[in-house]
A and B are shown apart, each in its own frame.
Chain A
Amino acid sequence: MRAQFVVSEIGVGLRRNLTMTFAVIVSVALSLALFGGSLLMSDQVSTMKGYWYDKVNVSIFLCNKSDAESDPNCAKGAVTDDQKKSIMSDLDKMSSVVQKVTYESQDEAYKHYKQQFGDSPLASSLTPDQMQESYRIKLKDPQKYQVIATAFDGRDGVQSVQDQKGILDNLFGLLNGMNWAARAVMALMLVVALMLIVNTVRVSAFSRRRETGIMRLVGASGFYIQAPFIMEAAVAGLIGGGVACAFLVVARYFIIDHGLDLSHKLNLINFIGWDAVLTKLPLILATSLLMPALAAFFALRKYLKV
């Protein structure tokens, strides 16, 4: 097969269907940009999980004198030294899940509170004995919160067991939801792109039925007749894939590094790096090449009999 001949046929085909080619490029670009975006979003969520789960604690808050009056969990009065000893020894026994336990006294809690909210009017009226003593527990596996909760929730002297991870999970749930929404839009765009490709190939095959008819008569092989159409779709797809890649790179640049500049404004979050973006690009390019080619191949089986 002569490459030059095939290349010129592809060029003719793409120009003849310029509007359709453009539509294919745009829809492939959009669907693959969403595809890449949702992959990056997953990466971002797992990066954030890794970062934050390392920092979150499970806290066991103990009853103080004022809780004893207001909180039903503390009806038996403020926590005693015996109760604290038994909690501590139970925590020691749970070394399979517990990595580290730190005790925070009322004075320390007061100090931390003052540091964080020193300016607020509430802080000035607060006294150390209104603060709660607590055990801050770092778990080996942040998912094992329930073990601590069942062991200590409702025990005498314990006001509540709080898992900071629960707060994060709401955030991650939201991000995951957005991710699934992006995937749904992506799937829809993908279907649109595929239908456009099938239609483009059909129009292309129809407008060149004279050539293909003559090719058939002089004994061109099926592959030889179909190759220009398939490669047309592949070239249009690849351009779309290129646009999608450029879009992702530009998006990473403007959202995280410059423009919106989230990396400085939200410096509590550590964002995905360039490597995460760049490793997605080959996958996107390969998809943009193969998917339209396959769609064209199957469309031609129907519209271009050999």
Chain B
Amino acid sequence: MIRFDNVSKVYPKQTRPALRDVSLEVEKGEFVFLVGSSGSGKSTFLRLILREERASHGQVHVLGKDLARLSNWKVPHMRRQLGTVFQDFRLLPNKTVAENVAFAQEVIGKSRGEIRKSVPQVLDLVGLGGKDDRMPGELSGGEQQRVAIARAFVNRPKLLIADEPTGNLDPQTSVGIMKLLDRINRTGTTVVMATHDQNIVDQMRKRVIELEKGRLVRDQARGVYGYQH
């Protein structure tokens, strides 16, 4: 699903690499936590998977494709097989919940019939059934993140990338979001989640990848958060 071969990333005008010689593999259906302090290279790692950045050295394979050889105009098609969730939800404030989710299908040209069928379905899945016509501003943080997850999942991606999805949420709400991500993972979707949330990592007991100053320092099955911050 994801393979990094000796990947380094140096941003222009910076001497210290953001990622240094990282090699790892994530199999189909896995749930992976990506941990590390700020500036450890977590975001760069995710941006490389999304092909927002290109690796300076080494190869990044996502969904069986070498991203270095993927031409620019094919990138959108690659991204359609990925779902993304962020700390700040990234919802469109002037569209309703249903429209926000439908947006992900409209921009890739799904028919109106398909959209009408799949949007209520996915809203039910994330536990927002009946809130189709609410505006994002009227929802709690946890509900907004559920909308974002619904949008990420509505096109049934093979891989879900989550960048600190619980970063803005209280512990109670975070547990709900994690249960949801776990359910999505059980449908066969691979989940890669960057997080700072110690409790969540310790409770879930999934694979943990730790980055420190751009290096891969730990790759542990059924791991724990492992360090104090």
Contact = CB atoms under 8 A, between A and B. Distances in A.
Bound pair: A and B?
Answer: yes
Interface of A: 1-2, 5, 210-211, 213-222, 224-225, 306
B227 interface: no
Given A220-B107, A224-B107, A214 B92 contact: yes
Given A1-B109, A5-B106, A217 B79 contact: yes
A219 B79 contact: yes
B222 interface: no
Interface residues of B, number: 23
Given A215-B107, A217-B84, A222 B92 contact: no
A216 B72 contact: no
A220 B77 CA distance: 8
A24 to B, nearest CB: 24
A117 B128 CA distance: 99
A218 B78 contact: no
Interface of A is mostly: helix
A306 B92 CA distance: 19
B79 A216 contact: yes
Contacts, number: 55
B40 to A, nearest CB: 23
Interface string B85-102: 000001010000000000
B73 A221 contact: yes
Given A210-B90, A213-B90, A222 B109 contact: no
B109 A219 contact: no
Contacts of B50: 217
| Residue from B75, B80, B92, B107 having most chain A Cβ neighbours under 10 A | B107
Contacts of B103: 214-215, 218
B108 A218 contact: yes
A176 to B, nearest CB: 49
Contact of A219 (B92, B108, B112): B108
Contacts of A5: 106
A224 B107 CA distance: 7
Contacts of B107: 215, 218-220, 224-225
Contacts of B81: 219
B149 to A, nearest CB: 13
Given A210-B90, A213-B90, A218-B80, A306 B109 contact: no
A218 B72 contact: no
Contacts of B151: 218
A215 B108 CA distance: 9
A219 B75 CA distance: 8
A113 B82 CA distance: 94
B104 interface: yes
